Structure 1
Amino acid sequence: MADNEVATRAPESDAQETPQKEAEGSAIPGDTKAQEGPSMGEHCVTDRPTPSGEVPTGELTKLGDVDVYIAKPSDYPHAPSKLLLLLTGGTGMQSKNNQLQADKYASEGYLVVMPDQFAGNPAPTIAIDEPENKDFSWLESSKLKIAEAAKSFRIDMWLAYHTPEKVLPLLHKVIEAAKEEFADAIANGGGIYGVGYCFGARYILILAGEHSDTALWGQEQPKDEEQGGAKKEPLLKVGAVAHPTMVTKDELEAVKAPVYIAAVKDDSLFSEEDVLTPGRRTLEKNTVEHEVKVFEGVPHGFAVYGDYDDAKIKQDQAQAFAEMLGWIQSH
């Protein structure tokens, strides 16, 4: 296992700047405290600017009656390919940046299936206009705080709807349909590969795990397993994820397929103390092949395709893609 860790605090998101004093306990301007309960940051629901001149080349279609974006290598089906399931953050399948991300993997020889895991209901995006004058009055500051609270509430309500009970059956339908539609690619790769970002990273880890609740996989629970019987084996051959959100310790500990994790130092949405560290100990105990890279000085969401002015974020974004690609290529 390779493990490169650094000890510098990273901002929660470059888009989450507070108008007055910084959040209590923060070491970097713009950093925010972790919210109680499941939530996502600005990075998970808002795209970065799309690099100039880039246009997606894949197609929107359906698999298992679920909307999907499919990106194919230029020489497929004349040359063999491998099937890659790509799961996005809250901006979803219709995001041009996510489509371009799928195209990047397709250009490396993968047949990429990116499903609409939100059933036409991506995370709400609410624009909040800050006053041009940064010397906020009490009234302006209060209005801004109310707007931020309303936005957070809408996102939390959206998350309360898009639970594993809703998302996993959709993914199961897509996987089952892909087994028929792209049997050649799955056979060529010896299984299904998976990559995920933010919200979608959690589900790649779940699909890479061994679980007993088959109802969550789009199947009825057998009567003899109602009390917690045989476990469902991983649906993925290998997985690579970047800055997961809302992952539980149990979900990470259930992983059985080889997995690469690109994490962000001091990420309140993927706690190193509560989730990552105990999860890694279990992966090591279970001799599950894994690699963890912790990036410093970048916002959660940095690995999602999109343009940044900061040269370091651009460099680390490219590095995360190269390492995630290299991980799945090596398996």
Structure 2
Amino acid sequence: MASNPPGPCCLMGFKHEGTPKGEMKKIGNISTYFTDRSDAKNTDKAIIYLSDIFGISHNGKLLADKFAEQGYFTVYPDLLHGDHVASPEDYHSGKVDMVDWTSRHGPETVDPIIQSTIDYLRNTVCIQKIAAVGYCFGGKYVARFLMDGKIDSGYTAHPSFITEEELAAIQKPLSIVAAEDDTIFPREKRIESESILVKTKQRFQINLISGVQHGFAVRADLSAPGSRFAMEAAFVQAVMWFHYTL
């Protein structure tokens, strides 16, 4: 694998303050958070937000809103059909069996949700350029949908579950941000991923931020200056990548 499977560190982090600005709608039978552009920029471009194991979360909605504030129509589908991990406490108390949970949420169930979202954006909203952001669990699906060019650009923070074959097959640009302390995307996996990406001949970027752990780009402790900087830097990386590649 180019990154390891999800683990306990996926459940760490902090809930952020703020009120989401978007609204829940449906794409087919999939619950989806919609948050629209705040101005007329990038009217032909959209971002699909691919979540971590918490599914449609408060923090995720706030991040989706931030992408919309940068001029991108942003949609955030429920990749997990409501079967998300509700809280870190559920895992640590034994209420969630991650092996069993993971077996229910593989490409056979997740891919069709993303494909339906892409079809909606292209055929109903008439979006010309589609990017995807993927956090942890969602990072795998950024790579999968770059394989045959179904999306036009991708970004992932602290990805999990990406296979070497998926990464080697990307056909569009990919940006990655990694944490220094991450058992899921450790140093050897970063180096391996870099070697694979060079061979794809696609534009790519890998940034490493010290002093943070897996999950920092979504669930950082914003009261800690270093963690706040890292989360903000990860977001700016994504936005600048899409400004460049879309």
Q: Same fold (TM over 0.5)?
A: yes
Q: What amino acid is the match of 2:97?
A: R
- Which structure shows the bigger proportion of residues in strand conformation? 2
**Structure 1 residue aligned with 2:176:** 261
- Select the residue among 122, 146, 150 that pairs with 2:94: 150
Aligned AA (2:184): L
Give the conservation status (yes or no) of the 8 Å contact 1:249–1:276. Answer: no
1:220 matched to which residue of 2? none
Shift of 1:125: 2.6
Q: Distance in 1 between matches of 2:186 and 2:167?
A: 12
Contact 1:263 1:295 in 2 (8 A): yes
Q: Could you list the runs of 4 or more consecutive aligned residues of structure 1 that deviate by over 4 angstroms after TM superposition?
A: none
Q: Give the structure 1 partner of residue 66 of structure 2.
A: 104
Is the Cα–Cα contact under 8 Å of residues 71 and 111 in structure 1 kept in the other structure?
yes
Query: SS of the residue aligned with 1:75?
Result: coil
User: What's the RMSD between the two structures over aligned residues?
Assistant: 2.2
Quote the residue 1:168 is aligned against.
111
TM-score by length of 2: 0.89
Shift of 1:82: 1.4
Q: Say yes or no: does 1:206 pair with 2:144.
A: yes
SS in 1 for 2:70: coil
Select which of 23, 37, 57 maps to 1:73. Answer: 37
- Indicate whether 1:87 and 2:53 are aligned: no
Of 60, 85, 89, the match for 1:127: 89
Give 3-state SS (helix, strand or coil) of 1:127's partner: helix
Measure how far apart 1:47 and its partner are.
5.4
Q: CA deviation at 1:157?
A: 1.6
Map of 1:27 onto structure 2: none
Contact 1:85 1:192 (C-alpha < 8 Å) held by counterparts:
yes
After TM superposition, the score normalised by the length of structure 1 is: 0.68
- Per the alignment, residue 121 of structure 2 pairs with 178
Query: For residues 83 and 200 of structure 2, what CA distance do their matches in structure 1 show?
Result: 37
Per the TM alignment, residue 288 of structure 1 is displaced from its structure 2 partner at its CA by 1.1
Opposite residue 256 of structure 1, the aligned amino acid is: Q
1:259 counterpart letter in structure 2: L
Residues 270-285 of structure 1: pairs in structure 2 closer than 5 A: 270-273=185-188, 275-285=189-199
User: 2-side partners of 1:204 and 1:269: how far apart?
Assistant: 17
Equivalent-residue separation in structure 2 for 1:266 and 1:75 (angstroms): 38
> Is the partner of 1:192 in helix, strand or coil?
strand
Distance 1:80 1:176 in 2: 17
C-alpha spacing 1:266/1:315, structure 2 compared with 1 (3 Å): closer
What is the CA–CA distance in structure 2 between the aligned matches of 1:261 and 1:86, rounded to whole Å?
Answer: 15
Return 173-182 or 312-321, whichever deviates more: 173-182
* 1:299 maps onto 2:237 in alignment: no
Identity within the alignment, %: 29
In 2, Cα distance between the equivalents of 1:280 and 1:324? 18
Q: Which runs of 5+ in 2 are unaligned?
A: none
Cα offsets for 1:69-127 (capped at 9, x unmatched)? 01101236x9825111111111111x111101000000000000110000111124352
Counterpart for residue 326 of structure 1:
240
Q: AA paired with 1:325?
A: V
Is the helix fraction higher in 1 or 2? 2
Displacement, 1:149? Answer: 8.0
Counterpart of 1:173, as a letter, is S
Taking a change above 3 Å as real, the CA distance of residues 319 and 68 of structure 1, as seen in their structure-2 partners, is: same
For 2:28, the equivalent position in structure 1 comes to: 64
1:113 maps to a residue whose letter is: V
Q: 1:261 and 1:98 mapped to 2: Cα distance?
A: 18
- Number of residue-to-residue matches in the alignment: 242
> How far does residue 305 in structure 1 lie from its aligned partner after superposition?
5.1
| Secondary structure at 2:216 match in 1 | coil
* Amino acid of the structure 2 residue aligned with 1:123: V
Any idea what SS the aligned residue of 1:109 has? Answer: coil
CA distance in 1, matches of 2:176, 2:219: 17
